[in-house]
Structure 1
Amino acid sequence: MVAGGNPPIPSFPDGVKVLHDCPDATVDVCFVHGLTGDRESTWTADGQSAPWPKTLLPSKLDKVRILTYGYDAYIVRKGVASSNRLIDHATNLLNDLTTDRVCCNAPFRPIVFVAHSLGGLVCKEAILLSRNHPEPHLRSIFDCIRGVIFMGTPHKGAWMADWAKISVSALGLAKTVNKSLLEILQTNNQALERIQLDFWSMIRERQKAGQPPEVTCFFEELPLPGIGKVVTKESATLEGYNSITIHANHRDMVKFASAEENGFKRLLGELVRWVLQVGKEN
């Protein structure tokens, strides 16, 4: 207890958490949640007690270490919203992930990202920061990346700001707003456009040279009840890159309760393919 008898405010579950360790891993797979999510609940289906990357994935992938990353993505909350900007979250992801890999004596292990919603923008910014970083150890993420799976990521903007307002109104709570994150999620935001242009220019350069990373985009088929589709197919997909549908809404497209769900099988197929490619490199 703290002075005054009030319980301490729980810390937000941020940073890297290992969901499945593997001493002889050849690949790291890192999950990055999206808007209003966290590093475990985002990936946990209703009625399940643990995230599917922990319960379903390890038996399907050999020699893979599975990580999840958390950051404060609550753009609206009761009390005080985080004031961190997108670049702040990306910088933290880059530093935390690099530190984790150094501490595990695996700073140069190939890595794959699976990112939902806003998490895809955080990943893109972190990769760009790594590519141009003056510190060699922080450049290692860019050097080691083998693939990125974007799940409902608003590459071309989204109307999530309106979605947030609807949520606040529906809950009837007094909340504060992280305006910097709201603004970047508006369609035609210049910062979002800059990240988009820089990232895909980098991807094209690498692919012309026959180098990774691979890219796959998943998009939602169903609307959120009373709200609609949070990220449209046009915003979530990119011409010239593999695009795959998931029969779920924006929230549920990353919540798999069973390995028999077709969405899980589709995502697993991409991961298996990339892990096999890494195996051929060794």
Structure 2
Amino acid sequence: MTRPVYLAAILFAVLLLPQRFSHASGPPIVRIVQEYQATKPSKTALVFVHGIFGAKSTWQGDKAYWPALMNQSLAGAADIYRVDYESFGDAKNGLSVTNIVKAMSDQIDEVVQPKRYSQIIFVAHSLGGNIVRAYLLKVKLRQGHLELDRYPTAFFLATPSEGSTIASYGQLVLASPLLRALVPLDENDFLQLVMMGEGDWITKHSAVGCTRNVFLYAYEKKPLLGVMVVPKASALPWGGNESFVSQQTIRGFERNHSTIVKPESLNDPVHRWVADKAKACLKGEWPCNQNTNISETVRKSVCGAISPGAAEHAVKNGGGKEILGDE
């Protein structure tokens, strides 16, 4: 057994330890748990989504539980949820990232959407970030670009936006269909489709002046069991191209792949990075401010349901005036 494969075997054995439920057949199980309810009715929800082989313990450090720290920092001003999804099984039993995204979407429709939050903010770890990216594309396809205004920002912590080499080695020691969604981009058709969809959506938002969703990327600077699971190059989509990823949205931390989502106190730098921006969102500030350079009527029409090609046509003809009529 070569050293990379050996390290992958140890790493995935460690990642499997926190897993608490398995499922023999049928579609994957996804549960949404409300961890904390705001002290007063709130229009903001934070949703934590773990990575592959994760569980509630993903967010539990030696001294603190991250959703609890977040509730304390936000002074009970937001509802806080946790998404748990099953990671064991195989394709024959219905386990796939696509089915997890569908099941999560169904759960959000049932549990979260009825409350009609104006802001839903995801805090996602590892594979959970790629699941969230696919979920937001599903929102766009099902409900239109305008619905994405309700998801103004998302935090992707150690998410392999362009895949991870260690997942390729992991496939040699563990038969999990979820690993296919984590391998490097050049051999990962799932991530290629996600990035193609995101590229179209960001191009449209930039061209027409629709609200631009702000994604924030954190990467690890320390190895886990000798392995850098998601280094900076893996964490940033489009190779960090500033047309899509600004330096303002990138942060590296002196943590490994596991401890990056286990802050130990209110002053922990990872927690402060997320909590300070979540508090800004509660005030309607960046990264959640909904600034656009077109009128509300044009925004609803142009950003609501037309294709990227039609959006480009609208820009060439006066920001949508030819299509919609001059106001």
Runs of 5+ unmatched residues, structure 1: 1-8, 169-175
Q: Relative to structure 1, is the Cα distance of residues 75 and 219 closer, same or farther in structure 2, using a 3 angstrom cutoff?
A: farther
Q: Larger % of helix: which?
A: 2
Q: Distance in 2 between matches of 1:122 and 1:161?
A: 16
Deviations 1:141-161 (A, max 9, x none): 635111111111111111232
Matched, 1:71 2:85: yes
**Given the two structures, how large is their TM-score scaled by the length of structure 1?**
0.78
1:132-182 per-residue CA deviation (whole Å, 9 max, x = no partner) reads 11xx5x99963511111111111111123256469x6xxxxxxx622x222
The higher radius of gyration belongs to 2
Q: Which residue of 2 aligns with 1:116?
A: 125
Relative to structure 1, is the Cα distance of residues 225 and 246 closer, same or farther in structure 2, using a 3 angstrom cutoff?
A: same
Aligned pair count?
A: 251
Give unmatched runs, 5+ long, in structure 2.
1-19, 24-28, 291-327
Separation in 2 of the partners of 1:260 and 1:207?
A: 35
Deviation readout 1:40-67 (Å, 9 max, x if unpaired): 211111354xx311x2111221521111
Does the alignment pair 1:231 with 2:233?
no
Distance in 1, Cα, partners of 2:145 & 2:159: 24
Number of the residue aligned with 1:100: 111
**Cα distance, 1:82 vs structure 2:** 6.1
Given residue 221 of structure 2, which amino acid in structure 1 is its aligned partner?
E
Following the alignment from structure 2 to structure 1, what is the Cα–Cα distance between the partners of residues 181 and 71? 35
Rate the CA distance shift 1:82–1:151 in 2: closer, same or farther, 3 A: farther
What secondary structure does 2:215 align onto? strand
Name the CA distance, whole Å, in 1 between partners of 2:255 and 2:165: 18
The CA distance in 1 between the partners of 2:147 and 2:85, in whole Å, is 18
Shift of 1:271: 1.8
- Tell me which residue corresponds to 2:69: 56
Aligned to 1:150: 156
**Native 8 Å contact 1:94 1:141 kept in 2:** no
Confirm or deny: 8 A CA contact 1:158 1:185 kept in the other structure. yes
Shift of 1:269: 2.2
Equivalent positions of 1:73-92 (< 5 A) are 73-74=87-88, 83-92=94-103
Aligned residue runs from structure 1 range 1-282, under 5 A: 14-22=30-38, 23-38=40-55, 40-48=56-64, 51-53=65-67, 55-62=68-75, 63-74=77-88, 83-102=94-113, 105-133=114-142, 142-162=148-168, 164=170, 177-178=175-176, 180-187=177-184, 188=186, 189-208=188-207, 209-226=209-226, 228-237=227-236, 238-240=240-242, 241=245, 242-277=249-284
